[in-house]
Chains A and B, each alone.
Chain A
Amino acid sequence: GAGVSQSPSNKVTEKGKDVELRCDPISGHTALYWYRQSLGQGLEFLIYFQGNSAPDKSGLPSDRFSAERTGGSVSTLTIQRTQQEDSAVYLCASSLGDRGHGYTFGSGTRLTVV
């Protein structure tokens, strides 16, 4: 596609429920990244996928968080048993996979846990 597409744009869920956030990267971009942006905070790295390599999961805050990327394209970030502290904007980005190209970000999914 022309840009990075994220869905849904907004999600309100009850504490304890599972949620899935979707990211559709730019066609041809081999790298895909998930970041979390909490109110008043910077961007917190969660996970990234690069081609067929094992993903770098070093930023996932707990085992309630997981992500997969199917067919080297669409990615889903899953949060199980959501907590109020999971409320944030979840940003997805993709890139050509070289270090200096820079990311293209989606508009994010705003998650609110009530």
Chain B
Amino acid sequence: AQSVTQPDIHITVSEGASLELRCNYSYGATPYLFWYVQSPGQGLQLLLKYFSGDTLVQGIKGFEAEFKRSQSSFNLRKPSVHWSDAAEYFCAVGTSQGTYKYIFGTGTRLKVLA
């Protein structure tokens, strides 16, 4: 069965600083990988996704993520954080066969300092 680990529960960065949120997955074949963002009191919004092709994927709001098979990672990055990026971020993994459900990590809460 697939699994996802987000090692950082909380991250605090200053506005304008760069950001990297970590995600590690466990799955025997090529996974489908996703990053979602959840603002307070809201549902989850898809930031970006990967399942084949270029390992560096671009998403909305200036985010990007890089798939590294050798490290079983799919880290989310942003070169310059804005105060509006403060939210909770979830990594998710789906499989290439069998169940269609995604498994989500426990999330990383991002705080942005002015």
List residues of A whose CB falls within 8 A of some B CB. 4, 31, 33, 35, 41-43, 45, 48, 50, 56, 59, 91, 93, 97, 99-100, 102-108
**A107/B43 contact (C-beta < 8 A), A42-B107, A43-B104, A48-B100 known:** yes
> Is the CB of B112 closer than 8 A to any CB of chain A?
no
Contacts of B96 in A (CB 8 A): 99
Supposing A42-B90, A42-B106 touch, asked if A56 and B42 sit within 8 A by C-beta, the answer is: no
A100 touches B43 (CB 8 A): no
Give every chain B residue within 8 A of A50 (Cβ-Cβ). Answer: 100
Contact B94 A99 (CB under 8 A): yes
User: Can you list 18 A-B contacts (CB < 8 A)?
Assistant: A42-B107, A43-B104, A45-B102, A48-B100, A48-B101, A56-B99, A56-B101, A99-B94, A99-B95, A99-B100, A100-B94, A102-B34, A103-B46, A104-B46, A105-B36, A105-B44, A107-B41, A107-B42
B55 contacts the other chain (CB 8 A): no
- Which B residues have a C-beta under 8 Å from some C-beta of A? 32, 34, 36, 41-46, 49, 51, 90, 94-96, 99-107
User: Across the interface, which residues of A come within 8 angstroms of B34, CB to CB?
Assistant: 102
Interface contacts beyond A42-B106, A100-B51, A103-B102: sample of 11 additional A-B pairs, CB < 8 Å, sorted by A: A42-B104, A45-B101, A45-B103, A91-B44, A99-B96, A99-B100, A100-B94, A102-B34, A102-B46, A103-B44, A105-B36
A107 cross-chain contacts in B, Cβ below 8 A: 41-43
Per the bound structure, the CA–CA distance linking A35 and B105 in Å amounts to 13
**Chain A, Cβ-Cβ closest to B103:** A45
Q: Which of B32, B46, B101 has the most CB of A within 10 A?
A: B101
